[in-house]
Chains A and B, each alone.
Chain A
């Protein structure tokens, strides 16, 4: 197998089309509405009950970041979980795949399209959190930037998981449901099984995701992320492994 510059150009064309697809679709509107609703509710709670928020979360920013992993998981469910399977189910593959383009270029384009869209939306959310931090705390902690970095790696990992499921199953609805189940409770149940059997489930994706939001401290307003480097490593490995498996499943898949 050889790689040409043209392969990347084609991936860029596919990625652009994926982003356009999502921007014109209903899922994007649903996601925007959910995010705006979540942000508005959190801001209202922070504004009207600031004292109680500080007591529970140590910092207003912690409250906003507490739900970050859910927002990222929802993005993976809405966008990445259908990105491959819909080409087969909706028969659009009959046009795209019969063109002079490597399947790897299609895969990269679709993956990059999802990641770019999810990242932009999460960055916008973080900008909102930064504005809230300025409003409530009067400053922006550097922890917010570290959290953003870890959140980006969580996007890679959840997108990898969702695209892997999307590359294997036959229906978009099945893929969405499986991604939802896997990311929202199967991972947690497995982690719990490890924990109750006396093993630290530090390598599980849901455990690593806890590092996106600051740990609650009662030592003033200091924000602390729990072992962000270790969490980033776990997420990077989850992202890499699931992406490689998804790529393999995709290039072997026949119409």
Chain B
């Protein structure tokens, strides 16, 4: 029984010989949500999204978009869907305007609406001034903005993004994030699922998170619940020289330290406690005189993510 959500994945499975990339995955993406689709490399995120966008075929199971099974009728299922899978390329001999027109014609839009939509979208993805230049000369960031633009043609109610920022430089990533943020803030009837490795980007953009590993769903909930601070915090303590077992032993003896282990030339420490406990930990750490010159603290989402992935191994 389907829930009526715009994306419904039921017992989806993809096998490559012996290897199971997606393992009877069940996932229902809430209407009007911006869902971050997370998981380590090889977890099955891209495979799932490629099945949803009909780039690959499922071994078994169902994947519904707007109530239509994409494995059975991909044309109908993808009718109201925009996609950016990885970093797509465009025909270099076309201009952004011609590219959007081509996509509009494929979708079946009228010439009038293609014209008005093209101008609106190029404005939205900040490519209006490049509208009539051939794409072959564009940077990766510009091409990715065109990719997002073509996904927006005809106002889709579902957008599927597979690592839309991958391969972009920091400026390109920031521009892309800004456009996605505007999209989220200014759309009423839009459901987005976006896979990404960048957790701060996900926490910045998404209101829900679905985490998968080994092709199976680990958790799927509001980001406010998943990223809720349970008091556990992972941090990387940077020390002068190479940390020895004596140093690690002394850190472990500090109050509220859950674990401490060598992490390359640093020490990976997990503590449990509220903000005042963390203040005390920093003071105690300084008092140890072991040559600490810096501490990188993971965000609550990062800590939860790593914990869940570790548990699911």
Binding site for B on A (CB under 8 A): 6, 9-10, 13-14, 17, 20-21, 24-25, 90-102, 254-255
Contacts and interface: CB of A to CB of B under 8 A. Distances in A.
B263 interface: no
Contact of B102 (A13, A90, A98): A13
Given A6-B108, A92-B88, A97-B55, A17 B102 contact: yes
B89 A13 contact: no
B56 A255 contact: yes
A101 B90 contact: no
A25 B93 contact: yes
Nearest to B51: A254
B88 A99 contact: no
Nearest to A89: B89
Nearest to B57: A254
A254 B74 CA distance: 14
Q: Which of A13, A91, A99 has the most CB of B within 10 A?
A: A99
B87 A91 contact: yes
B106 A98 contact: no
Interface string B90-111: 1101000000001101111000
B71 interface: no
Given A9-B108, A13-B105, A101 B89 contact: no
B78 A94 contact: no
Interface string B157-196: 0001000000000000000000000000000000000000
Interface of B: 50, 53-57, 74-79, 81, 83, 85-91, 93, 102-103, 105-108, 147, 150, 160
Given A6-B108, A21-B93, A94-B55, A100 B79 contact: yes
Contacts of A10: 106, 108
B54 A98 contact: yes
The 5 A-B residue pairs whose C-beta atoms are closest, nearest first, are A94-B88, A255-B55, A24-B93, A98-B53, A254-B56
A89 to B, nearest CB: 10
A213 to B, nearest CB: 35
Contacts of A98: 53-55, 78, 81, 83, 85, 160
A92 B91 contact: yes
A149 B106 CA distance: 33
Contacts of A96: 106
Given A91-B86, A94-B88, 18 more contacts: A10-B106, A20-B93, A25-B93, A92-B88, A93-B55, A94-B55, A95-B88, A95-B90, A95-B150, A98-B53, A98-B78, A99-B106, A100-B74, A100-B106, A101-B75, A102-B75, A254-B55, A254-B56
Nearest to A25: B93
A125 to B, nearest CB: 25
Contacts of B103: 95, 99
Contacts of A90: 89
Contacts of A100: 74-79, 81, 106-107
Contacts of A91: 86-89
A210 B67 CA distance: 56
Contacts of B88: 91-92, 94-95
B206 to A, nearest CB: 21
B105 to A, nearest CB: 5
Given A10-B106, A99-B106, A17 B91 contact: yes
B152 to A, nearest CB: 13
A38 B81 CA distance: 50
